């Protein structure tokens, strides 16, 4: 596989897709469609033939498998073929015995020191089998409940970004807005290769969802807001029937993430 990762949901937001060896910060409102979009990226990536890892910090692996399968992916086959794996840091954190059925996920940790140690090992001796994966986190915000904020940022800068570079990964690093100080988001923005935003807005008595790619370093792009729609099978699509920024609500938004 060469070149950029091009998927329908990504091309609608950043034409030309995303290049390998990069990490993207996703700033999302908790009521937005980020989680659904993350599963759409996962499903489309697998259908594209890309090796895909879903890092679950807030959701059960069984729910992830079901939602990806609903979008047309033969989950058992791609797992057996080594194209799909779930890194489950959620279940161990609950302290509960939650059966997964016949499918077993990789057990993960919420400890930043453990992350850094594993990433350093991969950076020093990057195995070919670990290169060129699409790595999707569901929500990194939970890490601040288990780790010091300074240690979190140090790990992001010193090992996480070099890990993405060395292994030629595409990494989605989502954090919920409104939970942390402005400086937390600024530090994350300063080290990532791009910034995506997901928001929800109540319009005419209903909740509408929007997304945009605010920045991809070294690329010119249209950072306008796009309207998102959730299909019955759980797939998120960009609704091209309404022009970006065509509503009073979008034009009235304050620039930048809501904190």
Predicted pLDDT of residue 96: 82
- Residue 63: what pLDDT? 95
DSSP-derived pairing of the beta strands 226-230 and 106-107: unpaired
CB 58 within 8 A of CB 206: no
Give the other-Cβ count within 10 Å of 169's Cβ.
Answer: 20
Rounded Cα–Cα distance for residues 97 and 95 (Å): 7
Helix (H) or strand (E) holding 8: helix 8-13
Cα–Cα dist 246/232, whole Å: 25
Cβ-based neighbours of 29, under 8 Å, separated by 6 or more: 176, 177, 178, 198, 199, 200, 258
**21 torsion bin: left (phi>0), alpha (psi -120 to 50), beta (else):** left
Each residue's pLDDT expressed in tens, for the chain with a length of 259 residues: 457 899 999 999 999 999 999 999 999 999 999 999 999 999 999 999 999 999 999 999 999 999 999 999 999 999 999 999 999 999 998 888 887 777 788 888 899 999 999 999 999 999 999 999 999 999 999 999 999 999 999 999 999 999 999 999 999 999 999 998 899 999 999 999 999 999 999 887 889 999 999 999 999 989 999 999 999 999 999 987 665 554 434 444 444 444 3
Q: How many CA atoms lie within 13 A of 197 on its CB side?
A: 21
Q: Which of 212, 158, 152, 244 is nearest to 24 (CA)?
A: 212
What is the reported pLDDT for 210? 96
CATH ID of 8-252, from 3.40.1030.10, 1.10.287.110, 3.40.50.300, 2.40.30.10: 3.40.50.300
Burial level of 182, CB count in 10 A (0-12/13-18/19+)?
Answer: exposed
């Amino acid at each position: 596989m060469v070149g950029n990762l091009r998927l329908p949901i990504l091309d609608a937001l950043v034409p030309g897709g995303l290049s390998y060896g990069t990490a993207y910060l996703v700033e999302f409102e908790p009521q937005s469609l980020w989680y659904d979009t993350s599963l759409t990226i996962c499903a489309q990536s697998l259908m594209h033939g890309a090796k895909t890892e879903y890092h679950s910090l807030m959701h059960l692996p069984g729910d992830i498998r079901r939602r990806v399968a609903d979008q047309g992916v033969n989950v058992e086959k791609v797992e057996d073929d080594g194209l799909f794996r779930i890194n489950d840091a959620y279940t161990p954190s609950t302290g509960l015995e939650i059966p997964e059925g016949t499918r077993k996920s990789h057990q993960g940790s919420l400890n930043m020191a453990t992350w850094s140690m594993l990433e350093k090992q991969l950076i020093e001796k990057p195995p070919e089998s670990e290169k060129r994966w699409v790595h999707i986190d569901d929500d990194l915000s939970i890490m601040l409940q288990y780790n010091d904020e300074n240690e979190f940022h140090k790990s992001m800068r010193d090992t996480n970004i070099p890990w993405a570079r060395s292994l030629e990964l595409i990494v989605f690093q989502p954090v919920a807005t409104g939970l942390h100080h402005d400086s937390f988001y600024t530090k994350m923005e300063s080290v990532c290769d791009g910034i995506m935003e997901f928001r929800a807005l109540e319009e005419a008595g209903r909740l509408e969802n929007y997304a945009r790619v605010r920045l991809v370093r070294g690329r010119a792009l249209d950072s306008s807001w796009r309207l998102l729609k959730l299909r019955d099978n759980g797939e998120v699509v960009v609704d091209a029937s309404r022009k970006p920024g065509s509503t009073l609500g979008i034009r009235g938004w304050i620039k930048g993430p809501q904190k």
